[in-house]
Structure 1
Amino acid sequence: MPVSSTIWQLGLTWQLNDQLTLFTGHNTGFDVESSAAARSSSGDALEPEESAQTELGIRYSADEFRGSLALFRIERLNALTTDPIDSDFSVNSGEQRVDGVELEGSWQFNSALQLQAGYAYMDGEITESNDGDRGNTLGDLARHRLNFSANWQYDNDWSAFVRANYSSSRPLVTGSTWQLDGYRLIGTGLRYQQSAWSAQLAVNNLLDELYYTASGNGFVVYPGEPQQVSLQLMWQW
């Protein structure tokens, strides 16, 4: 039985002056991963789960610095939840919501050094459900995420970079009291560039931190990427 859904997006920017810009946007989406080939108690095909994202922010732009601050809400609509009449089936009446703040910026410190950083706070919960989990915190969603990078251009040939990411602890699955620990990842690298070829030596997870990622259920976790050293060579013609 065929199903269909329509997505759309709308954006608006307002240039306040040479440096400040207001922006807002709204977009929708859908997926059929959970509802594909599923049927309701009446035998009808379940509808695709839908999503909607709304954002409002301000952006600052100057010669050496660019940054933005945004508030956002991400909603999951038509989510599958237990049919209150027949618990052997599901209905499209569940809803989930994530409210957040995002701050990011880029600073050209001098002709050689560029710094970038970003921070996001996200608070997610189930807002509508027939499964007895309304109000529960969404699984695998870290409240705090932070990233930082520094790029240093020594001369026309040599450059180096450092990148760092932080994620706070988060529930393994929705409503779980078991928490996956937060983690900090650092990577660094050195690059040599010529007109026709380049070489890059990089180290990921420099401190070889042991961390785990969610698998989507409460029985299994996956280990994160271990320390890795890579050498990349590129030739252009």
Structure 2
Amino acid sequence: MPDLTGWAFTLGGRYDVVSSSTRNRLTNTVVDQDDEKFTWRAGVVYLAENGLAPYASYSTSFEPTPGSDFAGEAFKPTTGEQFEIGVKYQPVGFDGFVALSTYELTQQNVTTTDPVNTRFDVQTGETRVRGIELEGVAALSDSLNVKASYTYMDGKVTQSNDYLRNIPAQIPDHVASLWGDYTFPDGGPLAGLEIGAGVRYVGERFGDAANRMDLPATTLVDASLRYDFENLSPDFAGLSLRVNASNLFDKTYVGQCASTRYCQYGGRRTVSASLGFQW
């Protein structure tokens, strides 16, 4: 038997069966869709004693695409596959890690605007995105945690009835984020309180398949607050409050576009609170 010490393997599969129907009230027609697909994933990682963990993975995907084209033909499901290789490193004795990976994601039957009947969509064929991801997570002290990530994406339309070699809509070149949270130490007046804040950056991208509409880069700020009521009294052990704020400064920005027909603003400031209990 070969020595597999330090090796870990992953293998999984699933089978989806989906049925749906779309009614067109203008033409009084109904398009039925019955889709099914087996998808799977596999991965391998080697856990070295020095903290290095190189890995590789492969996965397939399947997603039903509701609707129909100008001729009334139901859309085929969107399928895809992803290859990824990378390495994670967690120094011995250090509470944190860094990870670097590269990937290639290919999707088939992607929808885009019909170049002739612009009020309808067609399935272009295939898009491919290659990229590099860098991520780091570290506990800088018992109270302070930091997480940062950066992604570079190179997208191309590889099969199409039009716009071949264009960059797929809504795919930015650069995406980055930085997040930090601080927990106030025990014994102080703010014991049990955790505050967090971070920024998200989405680079410039095209809003349409023809690559004629530029969407500007966007930087958003998020924040969070968590309080553990056990610090008020042992009787409240397990009770905590969470408050999350997205787009904290209520920045106005374009979220996405459906070709040149219309665009949507991104989400405004959203604040949510939850009260939870664990036992």
TM-score by length of 1: 0.82
**Is the contact between residue 140 and residue 174 of structure 1 (CA under 8 Å) also seen in structure 2?**
no
- Contact 1:124-1:137 at 8 Å conserved across structures: yes
Query: Are residue 179 (structure 1) and residue 214 (structure 2) matched?
Result: yes
Counterpart AA for 1:198: S
| Backbone CA RMSD of aligned residues | 3.0
Identity, % of aligned positions: 25
SS across alignment from 2:258: coil
Shift of residue 205, structure 1, vs aligned partner? 1.9
Secondary structure of 1:8's counterpart equals strand
Q: Secondary structure at 2:38's aligned position in 1?
A: coil
Which protein has greater RCO, CA pairs closer than 8 Å, 6+ apart? 1
Structure 1 position 230, deviation (Å): 4.3
Instruction: Show the 5 A alignment for 1:1-237.
Output: 3-33=35-65, 48-62=77-91, 63-79=94-110, 94-131=125-162, 133-156=163-186, 157-194=192-229, 195-235=237-277
Question: Who is 1:86 aligned against?
Answer: none
Cα separation, partners in 2 of 1:76 and 1:167, compared to 1, 3 Å: same
TM-aligned CA deviation for residue 46 of structure 1: 7.1
Give 3-state SS (helix, strand or coil) of 2:65's partner: coil
| Inter-partner Cα distance in structure 2 for 1:53 and 1:99 | 10
Q: Shift of residue 92 of structure 1?
A: 8.0
Q: Which runs of 5+ in 2 are unaligned?
A: 1-32, 113-120, 187-191, 230-236
Partner amino acid for 1:24?
Answer: A
For the structure 1 residues 204 and 96, does the alpha-carbon distance in structure 2 shift closer, same or farther, using more than 3 Å as the test?
A: closer
Residue 198 and residue 134 in structure 1: after superposition, are their counterparts in 2 closer, same or farther (change >3 A)? same
Q: Which runs of 5+ in 1 are unaligned?
A: 82-89
Amino acid at match of 1:138: P
Equivalent-residue separation in structure 2 for 1:106 and 1:3 (angstroms)? 40
How many angstroms apart in 2 are the aligned matches of 1:204 and 1:56?
A: 32
Report if the CA contact (8 A) 2:256-2:266 is conserved. Answer: no
**3-state SS of 1:123 partner:** strand
Deviation of the 1:201 alpha carbon: 4.1
Change in 2 beyond 3 A, CA 1:96/1:234: same
Superposed CA deviations along residues 93-115 of structure 1, whole A, max 9, x for unmatched, are: 82210000011010110111010
Structure 1 residues 65-74 or 185-194, which shifts more?
185-194
Q: 1:120: Cα distance to partner?
A: 0.5
**Residue 64 of structure 2 aligns to which amino acid in structure 1?**
V
How far off its partner does 1:228 sit? 3.7
Give the 3 Å change call, closer, same or farther, for CA 173–21 of structure 1 in structure 2: same
Hey, what's the Cα distance between the residues in 1 that align with 2:150 and 2:172?
12
State the secondary structure of the residue aligned to 1:5.
Answer: strand
| 197 and 124 in structure 1: CA distance in 2 versus 1, 3 angstrom threshold | same
Per the alignment, in what secondary structure is the counterpart of residue 125 of structure 2?
strand
Q: Matched residues in 1 for 2:124 and 2:177: separation?
A: 36
Shift of the 99–221 alpha-carbon distance from structure 1 to 2, 3 Å rule, reads: same
Q: Rate the CA distance shift 1:79–1:227 in 2: closer, same or farther, 3 A.
A: closer
SS of structure 2 residue aligned to 1:25: strand
Q: Distance in 2 between matches of 1:208 and 1:91?
A: 35
